[in-house]
Amino acid sequence: MTSTKTIQLLGLICIFASCAPTPVSIHLTNNLNLERQNETIEISIAELPDHWSSKIDKIGIYDPAEDAFLISQLIDVDQDGEMDQLIFQPTMAPSSEKTFHLKEQLSKPEIVDYCFSRIVPTRIDDYTWENDRVAFRTYGPAAQVLVEEGKKGGIISSGIDCWLKKVNYPVIDKWYKASEEEGISYHEDHGEGLDNYHVGISRGAGGLAIKGENDQYFVSKNFTAHKTLATGPLRTLFQLDYADWEGPQGMIKEHKTISLDYGNNLMKIEVSVQGTDEVSAGISLQENNGDIIDKNNLLIFKQDHFDTTLSNVILSPQKHFKSQHIFNPQIKDQNHVFLDLKVLNQSLVYYVGFYWSESNQFADHQAWEAHLEDLAIKIENPIQINIK
């Protein structure tokens, strides 16, 4: 009898043990002698055990060293109704390792969606995006139609505009609402920053172009369609489609996926491009009132901007870097410095951003340059992820 009870008890233990969730640890390694902050770790939910992926909306990233959960965000990358990525931003000391755990998070705090993007149909059809440090916009099909129909207010440009923020909270909705309802212009600084950067038909702050013969440059027109994939505390992610456009040797197909993460001055632009094996990302030289700082795959244009300093930057992974060149015919919207990039397997990755002195995000321009140099190293040496 005792033997039978023992066997039954062992059986129950086995059943309960088999039902217990398999623990999942996320072990991170920083191989650089640099502190890592605001770098986003992406965990593929498909790689997690089924019992975790099935309840992923209730799961958080737990730091046992701090006995606390980190802020995290779920992203449905392919928009099929199921989450594909779990992202978070750890702080890693130089040359260190750290382990986090997946753990059920019974209550999640209310968090501001610092990383935000949307189409703005009330302002023709701009697409705008921002995080806690920077903001951008670019122009859609309705703005192009206005020009083609000979009407006022439109623009044909795939250049990138930058909005200059001096606050860390979202401003896109606030500035547009104040403009639409109260006539308060976001082209003037009312204490939070402003949009006084000129794009026109230039490449603005990081748009693409292909150089042909006789200094002829080929560019796309406005985006034709957009898709917002994610907004949240840590990342906004969206896609822009472009109509096929003429290049030096035939038609070009272009599709962009853009992400902007919390705490970052640079966005990541992933381009699917067919019809060329090289392309250039440009920064407008505006009124030729600045200095070009050439650091191979890191390109900086530091300019005097209405009695402030605006420093635009384009950075590429080493594998995509080819060269740099300047085209400066002293004609409005045609003066640029370009970072020349290699298209590999019909794809390209580069980073675009800026620093505005009024934001006080860096002590000075030297500190900004040091930050960018460290960032270039970190891009080549990402934090190593081991899921156990």
What CATH number is associated with residue 324?
Answer: 2.70.98
106-143, pLDDT tens digit by residue? Answer: 888 899 999 999 999 988 899 999 999 999 999 999 99
Instruction: Write the pLDDT tens digit of every residue in 319-351.
Output: 999 999 999 999 999 999 999 999 999 999 999
Q: pLDDT tens digits for 198-233?
A: 999 999 999 999 999 999 999 999 999 999 999 999
Whether residues 207 and 95 share a domain: the answer is: no
304 and 340 assigned to the same domain: yes
Give the structural domain span for 134. 116-380
Question: Does residue 51 register a pLDDT over 90?
Answer: no
User: Among residues of the chain, what percentage have pLDDT more than 70?
Assistant: 95
d(CA 338, CA 206): 9
Predicted local confidence at residue 108, as pLDDT: 85
CATH number at residue 77: 2.60.40.1180
Q: Are residues 36 and 104 in the same domain?
A: yes
Residue partners of 343: CB distance under 8 A and separation at least 6: 273, 276, 277, 278, 279, 320
Closest CA to 312 of 204, 205, 201: 205
Q: Which of 256, 205, 261 is nearest to 230 (CA)?
A: 261
Same domain, 171 and 306: yes
- Report the chain's mean pLDDT, rounded to a whole number: 93
Identify the pLDDT of residue 387.
94
Domain boundary among 75, 108, 141: 108
pLDDT band at 21 (very low <50, low <70, confident <90, very high): low
Same domain, yes or no, for 83 and 230?
no
**Per-residue pLDDT band at 23 (split at 50, 70, 90):** confident
- Read off the pLDDT of each residue in 80-88 and give the average, rounded to a whole number: 96
Same domain, 100 and 161: no
Helix (H, G, I), strand (E, B) or coil at 380: helix
Asked, for residue 7, whether it belongs to a domain, the answer is: no
The domain total for the chain is 2
Query: Do 212 and 237 fall within a single domain?
Result: yes
